[in-house]
Amino acid sequence: MTRNILHIWDTGGVASVLSKYLVKKYPVKSTVVSISRLDPFNITTFYGGQHYPSSTLTTIRFIMKGYSCDIIHVHSAYRFVRYFKRLTPNKAVIMHFHGEDVRLTGWNNLKGITEKADITLVSTPDLLEGAPQNVFWLPNPVDIEHFKPMPSLRKAGTALYFVKHQRGENIVWPKNVAKNLGLELCVVDRKANPISYAKLPHFLNTFEYYIDQNWIHSLSKTALEALACGLKVVKWDSRVIEKLPEEHNPIRVIEKLWAFYQQAIG
């Protein structure tokens, strides 16, 4: 039996990668819809998903699309959980938080969402702190077919840091790390100078190290993608890792997600 899955929003491109590998492994039709202004790197369209303007009409379109689906997987935009549970109470609705949606709002204020959703997922393990018991960690998947090593591009003794424009960011941190390791540091503001998702693997592969953020004790999705490209990554605790953790292999992530889906469907 083919399952029809709708992913609403595409935070960090996670929905697109999940959708790609779900279709590869299981008998599903998986669609990703997102808001154009939330995807400056064109991740959703890279994977064939659909962009819409931010408007009331778009919200209605997303809801209408959900009527024909078996599973509605909501990423960050938690208001849709309420909409679908009110309009289509028998649909399986998955809530998936990705970071700031929890950190800015707080679990106490999200209780109404976690109680309504059939399953609630988080993308990094630090988000489990203070979470209700029915919240589970689904590791971020990395598209290892897109992000892969290109050794001929690598320039030894170089490091990359992406400015995040997030609360708690300290630009002195990557500078000190690079200095301590004797690396030439390149600081890139992706908000001011966007690097498209299509070109990101090539760009990452020109560096030896990627310095991750240090105000959150979890590897960022970009750090995971850098590891898949063969870079060394400096973590929040200053430790260096050189291999993508196996739990972020997309097939392993999809198998775990499929089990959650089966639980939600009942």
**Shared-domain flag, residues 254 and 123:** yes
pLDDT of residue 157: 98
Regarding whether 117 and 25 lie in a shared domain, the answer is yes
> In whole angstroms, what is the distance from residue 123 CA to residue 84 CA?
22
Residue 198 lies in a domain: yes
For 114-166, the pLDDT digits (tens) are 999 999 999 999 999 999 988 999 999 999 999 999 999 999 999 999 998 77
Residue 30 backbone phi and psi in degrees, to 5: -125, 125
143's torsion region: left (phi>0), alpha (psi -120 to 50) or beta? Answer: beta
Which pTM was predicted? 0.95
Same structural domain, 239 and 254? no
Supply the range of the domain harboring residue 213.
Answer: 151-246
Same domain, 155 and 216: yes
Q: Based on the fold, state whether residues 130 and 183 are members of the same structural domain.
A: no
What are the Cα distances from residue 91, in Å, to 121, 251, 264?
Answer: 17, 25, 9
Residue 155: exposure state from Cβ atoms within 10 A (0-12, 13-18, ≥19): exposed
Q: What are phi and psi of 96, to 5 degrees?
A: -130, 110
Phi, psi of 8 (to 5 degrees): -105, 125
The tokens of 102 are what?
A: 């929890």
Q: Is 107 helix (H, G, I), strand (E, B) or coil?
A: helix
Give the single-character DSSP code of 2: -
CATH of the domain at 49: 3.40.50.2000
- Write out pLDDT tens, residues 173-203: 999 999 999 999 999 998 888 899 999 999 9
Please provide the DSSP assignment of 51-79 as one string. EE-SSHHHHHHHHHHHHT-SEEEEES-TH
List CB contacts of 39: < 8 A, sequence separation 6 or more.
10, 45, 51
Q: Is the pLDDT at 215 greater than 90, yes or no?
A: no
Q: How many CB atoms lie within 10 A of CB 17?
A: 25
Total structural domains in the chain?
2
Considering the domain architecture, whether residues 35 and 94 belong to the same structural domain is answered as yes
> Distance between CA atoms of 8 and 81, rounded to whole angstroms?
10
| 81 part of a folded domain | yes
